Structure 1
Amino acid sequence: MQTIEINSRKISHVLYQHYLLTVVLKTGERFLYRLLESSTFTKFIEAADRDKFYKIEIEANKKFRRIQLFI
């Protein structure tokens, strides 16, 4: 599992393993996304504005199944 610290206004860090992307927001909320292709994670990490990429490409994408984790 890869843990990536993100320099972002909303996102604290992300974890990635085998098409599963866990996004941890600075509010403490955690969301698990089942990605269809691994390149989405690479595009997210390489994006100039990760907050915008997350909001438009991942959060709003109906192809990715989103599950909220309560820990």
Structure 2
Amino acid sequence: MQKIEINSRKISHVLYQHFLLTVVFKTGESFIYRLLEASTFKEFIESADRDKFYRSHIEANKKFKRIQLFG
């Protein structure tokens, strides 16, 4: 599993392993996404504005299954 700290206004860090992307917000909320394309993670990490990329390419993409994590 790869943990990457994000320099973002809202996102604390992300975890990635085998098409599963876990996004942890600074508010403590966590969401896990089952990604259909591995390239999405690479594009997210290389994006200049990761908050905007998350909202427009991951959160808004209905092809990615999203599950909220509690705990």
TM-score (norm: length of structure 1) = 0.99
Shift of 1:25: 0.3
For these two proteins, the number of residue pairs brought into alignment is 71
- Counterpart position of 1:22: 22
Give the match's secondary structure for 1:21. strand
Q: Which runs of 5+ in 1 are unaligned?
A: none
- Counterpart position of 2:62: 62
Once superposed, what is the RMSD of the aligned Cα atoms?
0.3
Between the aligned partners of 1:61 and 1:26, the Cα distance in structure 2 is 22
Give the match's secondary structure for 2:33. strand
Point out 4+ residue stretches in structure 1 off by more than 6 angstroms.
none
Q: Give matches, 1:34-45, under 5 Å.
A: 34-45=34-45
TM-score (norm: length of structure 2) = 0.99
